[in-house]
Structure 1
Amino acid sequence: MASLREIMREPNFSFPNQNRAAICITSSIYDRRALDCTDYVPIINTLTNLAYLTGSTPTIREFITKDGGLERLVTILKNTKVNDKKNGLKWTLAFQCVVNIGVRGTEHIRKRVVQAGMIPVIVNVLESFFTVLKSVSDENERKRLLWRVEAAQQNSQPMPQAHAIEGNARSIPMENGEARPQHQFFYREDDILHSLQLLAYLSKYPSLRSSFHTDSGSNVFAIVEKFTHRTMHPLEIQYWAGVIMRNACRKDDTRKGIRQCAYTGCGKWETKPREFAKCRRCRKAKYCSKQCQSKAWNEGHRWWCIEK
Structure 2
Amino acid sequence: MAVERLLVPVEKSVTLRRTVGYAVETALDSAADRVEIHFVAAMTYEAESPGGTESIEEAEELLERLTVWAYEDANEEAFDVETAVIGTDRYLFSPRDFGDRLADYADDHGIDLIILDPEYLPGSSAPMLQPLEHQLESHGLDFEEAPVEPARRSGQLITPGGASRLGALFAVSFGFYLVLGDPTYPFDLVTGAVSGLIVAITLSHVTFSRPPTLRQTPIRALRFVVYVPYLLYEIVKANVAVSIAILRPSMPIEPRMTRLRSTVWGGLPLTTLANSITLTPGTLTVRANDQNLIVHTLIPDAREDLFDGGLERGVRFVFYGRDAARIPSPRERDDAEIIGEEER
TM-score clears 0.5:
no
Structure richer in strand, relative to its length: 2
Structure richer in helix, relative to its length: 1
TM-score, normalisation: structure 1: 0.25
Relative contact order (C-alpha < 8 Å, sep 6+): which is higher? 2
TM-score, normalisation: structure 2: 0.23
